Amino acid sequence: MEPEFATATELLRALGAREVSSVELLDDLLAAVERNDAEVNAFVTVDAEGARERAAAADAARARGEDLGPLGGLPMTIKDCFETAGIRTTVGAPFLADYVPERDADAVARLRAAGAIVYGKTNLPMFTADGQAYNEVAGTTNNPWDLARAPGGSSGGSAAALAAGMTPLELGSDIAGSVRIPASVCGVFGHKPSFGLVPQRGHIPGPPGTLAPADMNAIGPLARGVDDLELALDVLAGPAAADAVAWRLELPPARRDSLAGYRISAWLDDDACPVATEVVTTLRAALDALAAAGAQIVEEPPPVPLADSIRLHRMLLKGVACSGPDEEGFGRLRELAAGLDPDDHSDRADHARWMTMSKREWNRVDEERARARARWAEFFAERDAFLTPTMFCPAILHDHLPEMEARTISIDGVERPYWDQVCWIAPAGAAYLPAVSLPAGLTAGGLPVGLQVTAPYLEDRTALDLARRAAEVLGGFVPPPAFAVAETA
């Protein structure tokens, strides 16, 4: 077994059989970080000394016959927006460069209680607010498939570390594709759970100490296989401590027991966000392969038009982001919004308008979301899952223009808005639905493409099961060539 590219499930099996110790596995992974991270720069912090102590303690407990939990002795890493007791948490912000929390985020605490050994924090944009992964604290993370390209955002370091063989399991967060997009462009698996399944306490932003959860933000894993995603979900999902007094979680099983049994709809392109030709070609081949394997797929549009989902998601996202600017910055936005022409719906105008909307206006948007969720529920009464691109293009070239709205992406000879990256993830995000991104194949240029599986609310196991069965047909994770060569040399 090559530990750098094994799945977490395979590594746990080896740990349980005592074919490898936690310390040995940790040392293998730290060696991979030493060998590969100079090029990729996926890590913000590596806690080798503390992790070795915890791994040695896990090995000793195993030797005594103790139950270490479902993640017993597995080394893993955490996106640097989650508070980790004793390990600094920077969120890419210079003023938090030396911040060492006293408590774990709830999700991190659940992973540690299940036996995980945290040895590093992975890179992201400052305050998770970009579709790339760079900041003044840790610099720029590169995509292992092409170092000139970004690994996606905001869990870019997470996906890059997985793809380059430097971690077997990652904890990420997703409010606007931040798990799914990096998984897509780095060729790994990512799961955005149904909203509310995993407590958010200890996630930054909001500021350290924030207790109120952010709308749409979902805490979920990234991995090199679906079994790992489901294993992590079983550890992470459940009510927050205050709710656990009365609430229990019992996710329904997958709806079907075979690929052929699933009632699948698919939609690969849309005028609201045209998909790059090379992505459509790759996904078309993936759907053909699934059909040849027995899948029954009907191509049809979503129950909520994509354009409506994109607008709804962005309005709700601004409702979260409006807490970020200081009073002076927010005042400027209010002045700008007040002076807008009602017919001006440019990105700049909509940004100012939605960032400063009143609670009355937000209530109207929330009602629109509720109606969209009802339409999705009706849709899923007759269908089990909906397949789409995760993102409209492969990994983008690095672009650090300070004004994000001025950035563009050149696709099929057309300059596209930078934020078109978050269009195809919008339906599941706005409607609180579970979604999994899995590797669907490579473009002619050799870059990964993600296929997104969206399932009914709280039916995460259906999304995971179908993703697992699809991956068995499509091939699953493949190491980036440069790092696969380095691994086997």
One DSSP character per residue, 399-432 reads ---SSGGG-EEEETTEEEEGGGGGSTTHHHHHTT
State both tokens at 51: 């992790």
If 0-12 CB within 10 Å is exposed, 13-18 middle and 19+ buried, where does residue 123 land? Answer: buried
The per-residue pLDDT for 489 is: 44
- Is 335 inside any structural domain? no
Q: How far apart are CA 333 and CA 346, in angstroms?
A: 15
Q: How far apart are CA 256 and CA 367, in angstroms?
A: 32
Catalytic residue among 21, 22, 121, 154: 154
State both tokens at 41: 């720069």
CB contact set of 184 (below 8 Å; sequence gap of 6+): 152, 190, 390, 391, 437, 448, 449, 450, 452
Q: How far apart are CA 380 and CA 374, in angstroms?
A: 10
The per-residue pLDDT for 2 is: 77
- Is 327 inside any structural domain? no
- Is 75 inside any structural domain? yes
Q: Which CATH number is 161's domain given?
A: 3.90.1300.10
From 281, 324, 413, select the one nearest 126 (Cα to Cα): 324
184 is catalytic: no
Helical residues (DSSP H) of 322-459, grouped into ranges: 327-338, 347-355, 359-382, 426-430
- Is 360 inside any structural domain? no
CB contact set of 396 (below 8 Å; sequence gap of 6+): 131, 132, 149, 150, 185, 409, 421
User: How far lies 166's CA from each of 216, 318, 484, in Å?
Assistant: 29, 34, 12
Q: How far apart are CA 293 and CA 308, in angstroms?
A: 34
Dihedral of CA atoms 326, 332, 338, 339 in degrees, nearest 10, equals -160
Q: How far apart are CA 470 and CA 390, in angstroms?
A: 15
- Is 359 inside any structural domain? no
CB 253, CB 461: distance < 8 Å: yes
CB 5, CB 224: distance < 8 Å: yes
For residue 215, the enclosing domain spans 3-302+381-488
Dihedrals φ, ψ of 285, to 5°? Answer: -65, -35
The per-residue pLDDT for 3 is: 84
| Helix, strand, or coil (residue 76) | strand
Residue 207: CB atoms within 10 Å? 11
Catalytic residue among 21, 22, 158, 178: 178
Give the DSSP H or E segment for 387: strand 385-389
**Taking the model in full, what pTM does it have?**
0.97
- Is 330 inside any structural domain? no
State both tokens at 365: 């948007």
Q: What is the pLDDT of residues 394-444, one digit of tens each?
A: 999 999 999 998 999 999 999 999 999 999 999 999 999 999 999 999 999
- Is 274 inside any structural domain? yes
The per-residue pLDDT for 487 is: 45
- Number of helices and strands in the chain (H, E): 15, 15
Catalytic residue among 21, 22, 79, 309: 79
Bridge partners, residue 238, by sequence: none
> How large is the greatest C-alpha to C-alpha distance in the chain, in angstroms?
72
State both tokens at 455: 């399932």
Q: What is the pLDDT of residues 337-369, one digit of tens each?
A: 999 999 999 888 999 999 999 999 999 999 999
Residue 194: CB atoms within 10 Å? 23
CB 409, CB 398: distance < 8 Å: no
State both tokens at 45: 């912090």
DSSP conformation class of 82: B
The per-residue pLDDT for 485 is: 56
CB 437, CB 180: distance < 8 Å: yes
DSSP conformation class of 251: P
79 is catalytic: yes
* Residues of the chain predicted below pLDDT 70: 1, 485-489
The per-residue pLDDT for 1 is: 57
- Is 357 inside any structural domain? no
Amino acid present at 386? F
What distance, in Å, lies between the first and last C-alpha atoms of the chain? 15
178 is catalytic: yes
Query: The dihedral of CA 405, 307, 445, 481: what is its sign?
Result: positive
Q: What is the pLDDT of residues 128-180, one digit of tens each?
A: 999 999 999 999 999 999 999 999 999 999 999 999 999 999 999 999 999 99
Q: How far apart are CA 272 and CA 277, in angstroms?
A: 15
As for how many domains the chain has, the answer is: 1
Q: How far apart are CA 52 and CA 23, in angstroms?
A: 6
Q: How far apart are CA 111 and CA 149, in angstroms?
A: 31
Q: Is the peptide bond before 22 cis (omega within 30 degrees of 0)?
A: no
CB 199, CB 240: distance < 8 Å: yes
